[in-house]
């Protein structure tokens, strides 16, 4: 018999997450501009199944249905992202009122169902005109981001309950600008480090803009991956430290006032006086996205990277071939507390989830016991971290819906709700019912 889930602190936030380009569709509706993902997805060979996010889950037109699903689920919060090109089609200048109208309707629909709107301002969909002007390699993009944040907060600042400036800036830098597997598809390796600084600067400038318009707390959502060393040499340990600095510290140390890790400092042509103070504007919450640890060892001679990634063995794996390591989340949360101490703000786990090949049976039901086991294990890991004294105040499942999964297109399903992409039909999976029952018992 499964041990009952232990109790969580009063007020713990139970949520689900999505992102705009992955679910909204309506790519040409109501004045929306093009993003780097519109451009990237339409380039042959970029997406595994040749699909695009032009329609995705059609959430733009079906948001009321999706809010009803959340209300039935019983979540206390919904983390969505605002599509920058829907609000500012050119990436600068006045807002497109029809774009803001959509998020206005969504926010009101959530509040009517007692669901806290949690708005992420940037989930990788940079307006294409800004990319044409240099993207996040250009310092001006940080200022344009603050301008956009001001426009959104002026409209929604009285109702959004938690702001998240950036989602996973490490992933956007490394996949989008470092190795080119994500939009905008650049392959700069470590020459992409200015992208880190400009994203962080944009975050700091946006924090000031949000606080000028809204009294709600402000966060950032970072992706973290605990390091598991494969080897016991000095070279292996150096490789582990290099990966830890790049993945786990580059986007956290500066936020908490510690400056950049050694060896990853932006050059003097990038880092200017006052930038670090802007970046270190106090955070109300640190968003933590966790999927799995990373196996690391020393690289082969001549490698362009100071580490080599190694597949973790001995664990079950998701359809993305990611290892399922629930205790890695406890390890991560405790490690953040131990590293940053009193400088660490309260934490919310802003993403956690898994992809499996979920298909309806003959009766239309979608059983996904692997996802239930995944969520059960990871929530127990959160509870264990709380028992060790870590201030964790919420957990958001990735994702509410099966969606368009970036370079994997429609081939990977993360949702609590199955989506038949040709028709848009939503079918709650067994994990949806499990999560609903868990929330109800809380």
Give me the pLDDT at residue 403, please: 98
Query: Is 264 within 8 Å of 193 (Cβ atoms)?
Result: yes
**Nearest-angstrom CA–CA distance, 77 and 431:** 18
Going by pLDDT thresholds of 50, 70 and 90, the confidence category of residue 442 is confident
Q: Nearest Cα to 281, choosing from 256, 301, 302, 304?
A: 256
In-domain check, residue 345: yes
Q: At what angle do helices 97-112 and 59-73 cross, to 10 degrees?
A: 20
Annotated active-site residue 351? The verdict is yes
Check residue 338 and give its pLDDT.
Answer: 98
Determine the average pLDDT of the residues in 169-186.
Answer: 98
Catalytic residue chosen out of the listed positions 24, 131, 168, 244: 168
The angle at the Cα of 173, spanning 399 to 302, to the nearest 5 degrees, equals 120
Which pLDDT tens digit goes with each residue over 224-268?
Answer: 999 999 999 999 999 999 999 999 999 999 999 999 999 999 999
pLDDT digits over 381-410, tens only? 999 999 999 999 999 999 999 999 999 999
> Is 8 part of any domain?
no
CATH at residue 114: 3.20.20.80
Q: Which residues contact 247 (CB under 8 A, 6 or more apart)?
A: 170, 223, 224, 225, 294
pLDDT beyond 50 at 313: yes
pLDDT band at 6 (very low <50, low <70, confident <90, very high): very high
107-157: pLDDT as tens digits? 999 999 999 999 999 999 999 999 999 999 999 999 999 999 999 999 999
pLDDT at 16 > cutoff 60: yes
pLDDT band at 2 (very low <50, low <70, confident <90, very high): confident
Domain of 189? 13-441
Q: How many residues does the chain have?
A: 442
Q: Do the beta carbons of residue 196 and residue 222 sit within 8 Å? A: no
Q: What is the pLDDT of residue 342?
A: 97
pLDDT in tens, 353-381: 999 999 999 999 999 999 999 999 999 99
Within a domain: residue 2?
no
pTM of the model: 0.98
Q: Read off the pLDDT of each residue in 18-35 and give the average, rounded to a whole number.
A: 98
Helix residue ranges, H only, 126-217: 128-132, 140-156, 169-171, 193-213
Instruction: Read off the tokens for 411.
Output: 């081939």
Burial of 390 (0-12, 13-18, 19+ CB in 10 A): buried
Residue of 96, 331, 351, 370 with catalytic role = 351
Helix (H) or strand (E) holding 288: strand 285-290
pLDDT tens track for 77-94: 999 999 999 999 999 999
Is residue 129 domain-resident?
Answer: yes
In a domain, residue 5? The reply is no
Q: What is the mean pLDDT of residues 329-350?
A: 98
In a domain, 317, yes or no: yes
Whether 67 has a pLDDT exceeding 60, the answer reads yes
Catalytic residue check, 131: no
Query: Rounded CA gap, 118 and 77, in Å?
Result: 7
Percentage of the residues of the chain whose pLDDT score is greater than 70: 100
Q: Is the confidence at residue 1, as pLDDT, over 50?
A: no
Asked, for residue 41, whether it belongs to a domain, the answer is: yes
User: Per-residue pLDDT averaged across 158-175, rounded?
Assistant: 98
Domain count, the chain: 1
What is the residue-averaged pLDDT of the chain? 98
Confidence band of 96 (pLDDT split at 50, 70, 90): very high
Interhelix angle 430-441/59-73, rounded to 10 degrees, is 50
pLDDT in tens, 179-228: 999 999 999 999 999 999 999 999 999 999 999 999 999 999 999 999 99
In a domain, 340, yes or no: yes
């Amino acid at each position: 018999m499964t041990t009952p889930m232990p109790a969580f602190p009063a007020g713990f936030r139970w949520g689900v997450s999505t992102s705009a380009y992955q679910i909204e569709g309506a790519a040409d509706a109501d004045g929306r501009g093009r993003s780097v993902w519109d451009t990237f997805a339409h380039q042959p060979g970029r997406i595994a199944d040749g699909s695009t996010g032009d329609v995705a889950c059609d959430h733009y037109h079906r948001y009321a249905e999706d809010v009803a699903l959340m209300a039935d689920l019983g979540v206390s919060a919904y983390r969505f992202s605002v599509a920058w090109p829907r609000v500012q089609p050119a990436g600068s200048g006045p807002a497109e009122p029809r774009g803001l109208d959509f998020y206005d309707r969504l926010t009101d629909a959530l509040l009517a169902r007692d669901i806290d709107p949690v708005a992420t301002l940037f989930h990788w969909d940079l307006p294409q005109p800004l990319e044409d002007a240099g993207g996040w390699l250009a310092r001006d993009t940080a200022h344009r981001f603050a301008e956009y944040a001001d426009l959104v907060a002026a409209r929604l600042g009285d109702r959004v309950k938690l702001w998240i400036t950036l989602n996973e800036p490490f992933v956007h830098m490394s996949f989008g600008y470092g190795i080119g597997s994500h939009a905008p598809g650049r392959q700069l390796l470590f020459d992409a480090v200015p992208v880190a600084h400009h994203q962080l600067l944009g975050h700091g400038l946006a924090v000031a803009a949000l606080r000028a318009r809204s009294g709600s707390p402000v966060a950032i959502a970072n992706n973290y991956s605990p390091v598991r060393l494969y080897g016991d040499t000095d070279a292996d340990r150096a490789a582990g430290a290099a990966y830890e600095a790049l993945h786990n510290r580059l986007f956290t140390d500066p936020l908490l006032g510690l400056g950049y890790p050694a060896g990853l400092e932006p050059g003097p042509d990038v880092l200017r006086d006052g930038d670090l103070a802007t970046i270190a504007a106090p955070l109300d919450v640190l968003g933590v996205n966790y999927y799995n640890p990373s196996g690391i060892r020393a690289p082969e001679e001549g490698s362009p990277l100071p580490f080599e990634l190694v597949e973790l063995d001995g664990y079950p794996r998701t359809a993305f071939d990611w290892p399922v390591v629930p205790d890695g989340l406890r390890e991560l949360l405790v490690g953040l507390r131990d590293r940053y101490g009193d400088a660490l703000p309260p934490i919310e786990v802003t993403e956690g989830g898994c992809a499996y090949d979920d298909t309806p049976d003959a009766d239309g039901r979608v059983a996904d016991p692997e996802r239930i086991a995944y969520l059960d294990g990871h929530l127990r890991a959160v509870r264990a971290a709380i028992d060790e004294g870590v201030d964790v105040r919420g957990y958001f499942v990735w994702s509410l819906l099966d969606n368009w999964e970036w370079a994997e297109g429609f081939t990977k399903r993360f949702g609590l709700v199955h989506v038949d992409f040709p028709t848009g039909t939503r079918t709650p999976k067994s994990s949806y019912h499990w999560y609903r029952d868990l929330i109800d018992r809380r």
